[in-house]
């Protein structure tokens, strides 16, 4: 087993591996969703509440691709109206709550660890 270098804490390589794995999974999910959104945009029936929720949840995930210049379908023009828009809004908010909830939890855990280290 490889010994950790004196300059690098032993958990550092595990953390880097975890970040790389999360980035890879995120890239695969985003790639898959972009293909699904293109297919879903070509469906003839109007998008309703459930598809609105899926489109809303996928919208923040499409943002990096939009920044890079890739055209992503993030809203169904042919929709049922109010029910689609309600679903879309709920999807965006749930995706945001999930992302920011995870980030808040990580920040709170880091703060608790810093407080513990400071009190020792």
pLDDT tens digits, 90-104: 999 998 898 888 888
CA distances from 34 to 7, 37, 90 (A): 41, 5, 20
Q: What does the block give as tokens for 14?
A: 């595990």
Model confidence, pTM: 0.64
pLDDT: is 103 or 85 the higher one?
85
d(CA 9, CA 11): 6
- The string of pLDDT tens digits covering residues 33-71 is 777 777 776 788 999 999 999 889 888 877 777 888 877
- The string of pLDDT tens digits covering residues 4-22 is 555 555 578 888 898 899 8
d(CA 86, CA 56): 10
Mean pLDDT of 73-78: 84
Are 84 and 51 in contact, with CB atoms under 8 Å apart? yes
Within 10 angstroms of residue 41's Cβ, the number of other Cβ atoms is: 16
């Amino acid at each position: 087993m490889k010994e950790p270098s004196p300059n690098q804490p032993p958990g550092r390589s595990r953390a880097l591996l975890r970040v790389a794995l999360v980035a890879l999974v995120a890239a695969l999910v985003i790639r898959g969703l972009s293909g699904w959104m293109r297919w879903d945009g070509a469906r003839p029936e109007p998008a309703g509440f459930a598809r609105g929720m899926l489109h809303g949840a996928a919208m923040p995930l499409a943002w990096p691709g939009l920044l890079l210049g890739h055209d992503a379908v993030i809203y169904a023009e042919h929709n049922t109206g109010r029910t689609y828009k309600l679903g879309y809004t709920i999807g965006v908010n749930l995706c945001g709550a999930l992302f920011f909830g995870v980030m808040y939890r990580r920040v709170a855990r880091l703060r608790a660890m810093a407080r513990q280290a400071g009190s020792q």
